[in-house]
Every structure is written in structure tokens, then in C-alpha cells.
Amino acid sequence: MRTTHTACTLVAIAVTVTACWSDDRPVQWQRPRSVLGPIPLKAHVAYVDSALDRVVLVDVGADAPVISHTEIGRRALYAVPSSNNHQLFVITRGEQAIHKGEIDQPPEFWVVDAQNPKAAAVGYPIGSPFDRVAVSPDGKLAIAYFSAGGTDPDGFFRNPNELAVINLESPAGETNPALVTIRSFGSVPAGIALSPPMVLPHAADPTPRTFAFILSANNLTVLDATHPDRHEISIRLDLGGAPVVPREVVFAPNTASAYVRSDHARDVLQVLLEGEPPDPNERNANDFRAVVAELGAGGGPTDIAVYDDANGRRQLLASTPNTGEVVAIDADTAQFRSIPVADPIDRVLVFPGADAAPHKALFASVGAALPRLYVLDLDHLDDPLAQIKLTKITLDKPVRDVVAVPGRDFAMIVHDDARTVLGLLDLSTAATSPLLGVGKLDSYDFSPDGSHLIGATTGVSRVGFVSLDNLHPTDFRLDDPPAHVLATANGKIFVDHGGPFGHATIIPSPSATRSDAVVLSGFLTADLLDEEP
Amino acid sequence: MRATITPVFVSVFASLWLPLGLTAATPSRADADPSVSASTSASADTNRDELWFGGDFRALRSSSANALTDANLAGVSFGYARDLGIAVLPRLAVWAEAGMAIGGTTGTMFQTLSTDLSTIGLTGGLRARYQLHRLIVASARLAFGAQRARVAITDSSGSSASDHGWGSMAQASAALDLFAVTRPPFGFGVRAEFGYVAAQAIGLTARRDTSGDTLMLPANEIPLGGLDLSGPAFTISFVGQF
């Protein structure tokens, strides 16, 4: 009888324990999820998953796409590719361990090497939850900073003028990244441009270095990003009227100078950096100074374009509607030529826009939506005896936008806000050809060699192609509506259909048939069930 | 990795035929020699067939199940058992049984994706029953079989992806039966059973749900991974014996 009671008790306890079984689900599955991307890289397309804390890389280089993922920190905020499209840079917000399952993780800057997707991402703790990053053209330095709106309400104090200067060639350490706070005159950074490596004239240190140009209202700050511990230089831009907001910086590394276009400014600003012995009495003194000059635009530039001519000289084109002219400036000598034009030009493009020296420039009045364009021949611009004049092209419809076709003497002209009526301008013949779409051109790209325009409309299950050699339109039927279309550097067309699972159609080339295409599904949830929290 | 056909087939075969085969090898009550029956069965004056029906619950706490839901698997189970007439010890009887469990649950991932998980399990096995009291029986059960799992994931726009697969499973459990009536020709009672289900991970791929006769390009679908439905299980059921 005693055995019976014992057995009954044991069974009853076991049943009760089983019935009360409960434990917690990892918080990973209950966090909100946002996906950044698609981001085109060299032979990959990248997506950043903020819930699974990973970067998904779709390798479109081979016939069959290959999926890989790389772990990063928690709560990805922002991602940009490197200038050579071989790397992806991601800022993660990190996490505070408030609820069970959460961990204490600082904000970090991550470098994902798309060329070697099996390698672990390299992380740099950046101290503050920055939400923007600027990367130097040579990919050796990055600066994380706050956007004008900041990131989120977490934290206590926020220093909007703080920067994290990251040396990407060194591992993270006590001095890498370097946290610096720039001087402020009441404004906060709106953007940062990093220069190519420049050698300063008259400087004791002959090694090339990178300078950060920090743009904020009424203020331009120049920081030696190679030596972030040294003091920065502040340049006041305000004229006493409307705030002068720097918008665009182009560099002339051969002369260690930069050209700055600002809203409400009188002229294009040339900032020439040159060496200067540091003050021996000042700790962390810098060894350079900024010589500022107003170039002869003279009327408040609305747009600028910079190119290197056939002789390797850096040239700058600026439009100044206030003076009714466009200005061509030799960036190395600051000599300039003015060409009169009555229209309020606010868009300047050079052709071809790739690495080759351009020989045509196109000017448009997008803001005024005028049905006119102007073409400037750049080949004889430096000939003082040549008569420089603009060639006027009159169109039937107003110009709402102009986009350069990479590597070609073509410009795509958008005639309406809905992007349904397009035109293609051949700059070599000054001839325009209309293109009619079935709907709004929600997403478009050009093939890397500039041979095709590729377009897609949300809700229409097709991708349209226009051969830019003969303007022959074709289309490709898709199984699902597109959300985004892009051309990768290896010439493949990647059509993202959106959705939480990852769904894309990869078309090998604009001339491919449906049988050549690959539909890829589920790449954003790949191995989801095998993820360990 | 999706479960191969061989273990699934063997499991299903075993779950269906093991009890029936053992039952066929057992002498029927009408043919049994009373002296043999008295020595091999717990009691000659008992019911030797059983049907049960009840609720089935399984705690899903593998990492793969956690990905889909924070809820437990709930459903119904029913089955048939027969006394094999094997008496190893006094008051100890061995029964062969076959059962089926149907379960399901729902969940949410990333606050935006709805998940739906449904399972069908087929098992066959043996139960050793020990008579603690005239109306109380403790038992231990070991069963093998196969289960089918189906997963559907739906996003906020209504588009969904789903897949299903088979995998083998095994279950070990202990139970306590409380009978109101045990005498022939009919007895009935309640069974509370706890145990653990060990399940093979079922490889799944989220396949988009499409309809219509439009010609589609063959999709290169990336697997979701393996779904492991192992976990502690609890069953409460009504038992009828005859």
C-alpha cells in the first residue's frame, strides 16, 4: 500500500510539473525588424537585417546566386558601400540590457568585406549612437556623426558636434576611433565630405593625408582626419542675411584645395590648404591653414560640376543665375571664363560622366521647368582664342529632371513629375527622342556600360529596357511586381520584389530571355530556423 | 535537411502495424487457456482492449521552434491499445498501442510576421501498466513514429509562404490512470500522461503561395532550416476499455 501511495505521489508531481512547463522565448524573435537594402556592391547585393543582426549578401557573380550572411551588432541603423563597392559599412545602435534576453552592447561601426563573405565583420566601438557615416575615397578613413535629427531618445546627454574618426587600416583600440568634438557656432553638422589623400604645400610632413570638410549652416570646419587629435579650423560663411548652407564640396587634390558650393552664398568658395609650422606653445596644434577665396562666379552658384580635362587639369563649371551666366574655372589656377545665358540654370552635368575626360556639358533649368537645354563644348575651353558659346536645344515639354547616362553622351530627360514622359538627348547630335512609359518610372538604373536604360514601375510585373544605341525598347515579363531595380557592376540586373522573405529576379543581361533569368526566394530568411539566439 | 523517405516509411509502418501484429500474435480471449491467461495477464477478469481520446500539449522550446512561436503545441490525440497478455511481474501488463496526435499553434515573428504551425503525429509502441489499486493504474510508454509538420508565415500585406515535411519521432512517457469502472464488459477513466517527445528536425523551405495558371519561372528557394519539435509533452485523455 505504501508503494502505491509513493507511486501515485511521484506520478502526480511529474504530471503537475509537466503541465506547468514554461520558459522564455529569446527576445531576438520579438524585436521589430527593418531591412536596409538592396545595396549594390561589386558582384553582390547586400541587405542589412536589423532583427537578426546580420548582413545578407547575394552573390550574383556566378550563374547560380550564392547566399551568405555575416553577423553584425544589434539594431542596424545605417549602411553605405565603399567607393569601390567592395565593402559595406554599417552602423549599429547596440542595445541596453533592460529586459531578459537583451545584452549590453555599445554602438559600433562594422566593416563587411563582400569579397570575402566568410570572414567575420570587423567592428569598431564608436561610443555614441551616430547615425551617419562618411568614408574617404581611398577607403582608409571613416567618420561617424549625427544626422541633423539625431537618432533616438535613448541616452541622457547628446553632443551633436561629436565625431568618431575611424582608421580602417588599424584595429579598434583606445585611440581608434578617435572621438572629437568640433567647435560649434550654434549649428550642427549637416554633412561631411572626406578628401582624397592630399599633400600640403609647404608642410613639414610630406605624407598624403585626408581632410574632413564638415558642413553646417554658416560654418565650414576643416579637420585633419589623418591626425584627428589636432585642432580643426573653422571658416565662417555667413554674410549677415539668409544662412549660408554649404551643400557640395569637390576636391582638387593636386593643389590641396576644395571648392564649396553653398546656398545663399555669393560665390563658389575655394579653400586652399597649405602647410604652416604648428604653434609650439599649443598642444595638439595643427600644421596647416586654410586660405579662402571667392571664385569669380559672382552671383550665388546653384550647381557645380567638376571634371579633369584631357590634360589632367581639374576644371569646375558653375551656374550663377543671379549674374545670368555659367562660369568655367580652372581649379588649379583659379582662372575663369564666363558664358552668358539668360535662363536660371540649376543643373550642370558633364558627358561622358565616367572616368574618361568629358567633352560636353549640359545645363538645365529644372527648378523653373523651362523647355530648354544648353550644351557646352568643353574640348576648347582652355583655348583663350576659341569663342565659347552655348548650343541651345528647344524641347516641346518642360524639363523636370535630367540624368546623365554613365559613360555615354546621352542624357535622360524627365518631362513630368510622375516620370511617365521621358526623353533621351544625344549630345553628339543634339537630337531628342521621346520615350513613353506605361506608368511612373518608380525605379531605374543604367547598365554599367551605359548601353541600356532599365526601368520598373511598382505594380507592373515587367522590367523595361531601352537600348541607348538605337533606342529600341524591350521588356521582360516578371512573375511578380518589382519594388526596386538595379544593375550590378558586373552587368547583371537585380530586380527586388520586396517582402520580408527576400524575393528577387536576377536577369543576366538586358538581352536575356526568361529562361536565362533566375528567381531567388527566401534569401532574407535563409537558415532562419538554424539561428541560435 | 529534409527527412528521407526511409525512416519516415519505417516509422509509419511501425506505428501502424506493430500493435496490430502484436495483437494478432496474442491469443484472443475466447481462445486463451485460463491458466496461461492467469499467469500472463494482470488479471483474467479485466478488459483487454482500449480506446482513448484527449488533449495533447507539447512545450516547444527548441531554438527553431522558438523562432516561429512562443506558444506551445496544442491539439488532440486518440488511439487504440490491446493487452498483449505478457505478465512479467504480478500486476504488470504490457499493452501494444497505436496513436495519432493532431496539433497546432500560432505565433508572431518580429512583430509583423504571423506564423502558423500544424502537426500530425503517428506513433506505435508499448505501454507497461502496473495496477496500483483496483481503480488506479500507473504506466510507462515508449513509442516510435513519424510526424508531419506544416509551417506558414504570413506578412502584414497578406502574402505568405509555407512548406511541410515529415520526420521521425520517439516518445517516452509516464501516466496515471484513474478509473471509475474497470470491470468487463466496459470500463472507463481518465489518464494524465507526461513525457518527452524527441523529434527529428524537419527541413523546411518557405515557398511562396501562388495561384493561377500563369507560367512562372522556376524559383531558387533558400531553405528556412530544420524545425525541431522536440519537447516535454502532457496529455489528458478519456480512456475506454472493453
pLDDT digits (tens, 9 = 90+) for A333-359: 777 788 888 889 989 998 876 667 888
Cα–Cα distance, A277 to A289 (Å, whole number): 9
Banded pLDDT at A314 (limits 50, 70, 90): confident
Is the separation of the CB atoms in B195 and B123 below 8 Å? no
CATH of the domain at A515: 2.120.10.30
- When divided into structural domains, chain A yields a total of 2
Q: Are residues A430 and A455 in the same domain?
A: no
Min Cα–Cα distance to chain A from B111, Å: 6
Min Cα–Cα distance to chain A from B89, Å: 15
Q: Are strands B219-221 and A518-521 parallel, antiparallel or unpaired?
A: parallel
CA dihedral sign of residues B139, B145, B148, B149 = positive
Which residues from B are below 8 Å from A463, CB to CB?
none
A417: how many CB neighbours lie within 10 A of its CB? 10
The single-letter code of the amino acid at A327 is V
CA distances from A236 to A19, A187, A219, A228 (A): 72, 11, 5, 21
Cα–Cα distance, A369 to B1 (Å, whole number): 59
Of the candidate ranges A161-170, A186-195, B39-48, the one whose mean pLDDT is the lowest: B39-48
Number of CB pairs, chain A paired with chain B, less than 8 A apart: 144
Query: Is B32 a member of any domain?
Result: no
Does B223 contact chain A (CB < 8 Å)?
Answer: yes
Query: Is A235 a member of any domain?
Result: no
Q: Are residues A329 and A432 in the same domain?
A: yes
Cα–Cα distance, A177 to A186 (Å, whole number): 25
Q: Are residues A421 and A509 in the same domain?
A: no
Min Cα–Cα distance to chain A from B31, Å: 33
Q: Are residues A491 and A423 in the same domain?
A: no
Does residue A181 carry a pLDDT above 80? Answer: yes
- When divided into structural domains, chain B yields a total of 1
Q: SS3 of A395, please?
A: coil
Reported ipTM: the value is 0.74
Among the partner residues A8, A12, A526, nearest to B222 by beta-carbon distance: A526
> Which residue range forms the structural domain that includes residue A382?
301-436
Which residue of chain B has the CA closest to A31? B110
* Residue A30 confidence (pLDDT): 84
Query: Is A317 a member of any domain?
Result: yes
Residue from A14, A127, A28, A18 nearest A74 by CA: A28
Min Cα–Cα distance to chain A from B234, Å: 6
Banded pLDDT at B197 (limits 50, 70, 90): very high
Query: Is A120 a member of any domain?
Result: no
Does B164 contact chain A (CB < 8 Å)?
Answer: no
Average pLDDT, chain B: 81
Q: Model pTM? A: 0.82
Interchain CB distance below 8 Å, B110 and A530: no
Does B33 contact chain A (CB < 8 Å)?
Answer: no
CATH of the domain at B108: 2.40.160.20
Give the residue from A379, A407, A436 where a domain finishes.
A436
Residue A312 neighbours by CB under 8 Å, 6+ apart: none
Query: Is B42 a member of any domain?
Result: no
Q: Are strands A518-521 and B49-58 parallel, antiparallel or unpaired?
A: unpaired
From chain B residues 141-160, the ones with a CB under 8 A of any chain A CB are: 153, 155, 157, 159
Which residues from A are below 8 Å from B226, CB to CB?
529-530
Which residues from B are below 8 Å from A30, CB to CB?
70, 108, 110-111
Query: Is A315 a member of any domain?
Result: yes
Among the partner residues B72, B130, B220, nearest to A518 by beta-carbon distance: B220
Query: Is B72 a member of any domain?
Result: yes
pLDDT tens-digit readout, A213-255: 999 988 899 999 999 888 889 888 876 777 888 888 888 777 7
Min Cα–Cα distance to chain B from A521, Å: 5
Which residue of chain A has the CA closest to B115? A29
Q: Are residues A410 and A312 in the same domain?
A: yes
Give the residue from A420, A436, A452 where a domain finishes.
A436
Does B161 contact chain A (CB < 8 Å)?
Answer: yes
Q: Are residues A324 and A425 in the same domain?
A: yes
Query: Is A411 a member of any domain?
Result: yes
CA dihedral sign of residues B60, B61, B66, B70 = positive
> Which residue range forms the structural domain that includes residue B60?
5-25+47-210+220-241
Query: Is A511 a member of any domain?
Result: yes
Of the candidate ranges A111-115, A308-312, B4-8, B167-171, the one whose mean pLDDT is the lowest: B4-8
Which residues from B are below 8 Å from A508, CB to CB?
none
Query: Is B31 a member of any domain?
Result: no
Q: Are residues A374 and A449 in the same domain?
A: no
Residue from A309, A308, A299 nearest A338 by CA: A299
Which of A7-21, A311-325, A415-429 shows the highest mean pLDDT? A311-325
From edge to edge, which strands make up the β-sheet containing A211-216?
Answer: A191-194, A211-216, A219-224, A233-236
From chain B residues 39-58, the ones with a CB under 8 A of any chain A CB are: 57
Which residues from A are below 8 Å from B111, CB to CB?
30-33
Min Cα–Cα distance to chain B from A445, Å: 23
Query: Is A84 a member of any domain?
Result: no
Q: Are residues A359 and A413 in the same domain?
A: yes
CATH of the domain at A384: 2.130.10.10
Of the candidate ranges A308-317, A367-376, A516-525, the one whose mean pLDDT is the lowest: A308-317
Is the separation of the CB atoms in A205 and A224 below 8 Å? no
pLDDT tens-digit readout, B95-130: 999 999 999 999 999 888 999 999 999 999 999 999
Interchain CB distance below 8 Å, B174 and A14: yes
Q: Are residues A494 and A424 in the same domain?
A: no
* Residue A354 confidence (pLDDT): 61
Banded pLDDT at B6 (limits 50, 70, 90): very low
CA dihedral sign of residues A528, A531, B1, B3 = negative
Question: Please, what's the largest Cα pairwise distance for chain B?
Answer: 72
Cα–Cα distance, A324 to A193 (Å, whole number): 29
Which residues from A are below 8 Å from B205, CB to CB?
522
Interchain CB distance below 8 Å, A501 and B208: yes
Interchain CB distance below 8 Å, B225 and A519: no
Q: Which region holds residue A149: left if phi is over 0, alpha if psi is between -120 and 50, else beta? A: alpha
Give the residue from A377, A403, A436 where a domain finishes.
A436
From chain B residues 170-209, the ones with a CB under 8 A of any chain A CB are: 174-176, 192-195, 204-208
pLDDT tens-digit readout, B28-72: 343 433 333 333 344 456 788 999 999 999 998 888 998 899 889
Residue from A386, A328, A397 nearest A364 by CA: A397
Query: Is A60 a member of any domain?
Result: no
Which residues from A are below 8 Å from B155, CB to CB?
499-501
Q: Are residues A381 and A453 in the same domain?
A: no
What mean pLDDT comes out for the span A144-170?
A: 81
Interchain CB distance below 8 Å, A479 and B64: no
